[in-house]
Chains A and B, each alone.
Chain A
Amino acid sequence: GESVGLHLPTLSVQEGDNSIINCAYSNSASDYFIWYKQESGKGPQFIIDIRSNMDKRQGQRVTVLLNKTVKHLSLQIAATQPGDSAVYFCAEKIGGGGKLIFGQGTELSVKP
Chain B
Amino acid sequence: DSGVTQTPKHLITATGQRVTLRCSPRSGDLSVYWYQQSLDQGLQFLIQYYNGEERAKGNILERFSAQQFPDLHSELNLSSLELGDSALYFCASSESGTWNEKLFFGSGTQLSVL
Contacts and interface: CB of A to CB of B under 8 A. Distances in A.
A43 B107 contact: yes
Nearest to B46: A99
Interface residues of A, number: 27
B45 A100 contact: yes
B45 A101 contact: yes
A104 B106 CA distance: 19
Interface in B50-101: 50, 55-56, 58, 90, 92, 94, 97-101
Interface stretch (A10-18, A44-52, A58-66, A69-77): A44-52
Given A98-B31, A98-B94, A100-B103, A44 B4 contact: no
Contacts of B58: 99
Interface string B6-40: 00000000000000000000000001010100000
A105 B43 CA distance: 9
Given A43-B4, A103-B42, A104-B42, A95 B107 contact: no
A23 interface: no
Nearest to A100: B103
Interface residues of B, number: 29
Contacts of B107: 41-43
Interface of B is mostly: strand
B43 A44 contact: yes
Interface string A91-110: 10111111111111100000
Q: Which of B31, B56, B102 is packed against the most chain A CB atoms within 10 Å?
A: B102
Nearest to A97: B56
A41 B9 CA distance: 10
Given A43-B108, A93-B100, 6 more contacts: A44-B90, A98-B50, A98-B55, A98-B56, A98-B99, A99-B48
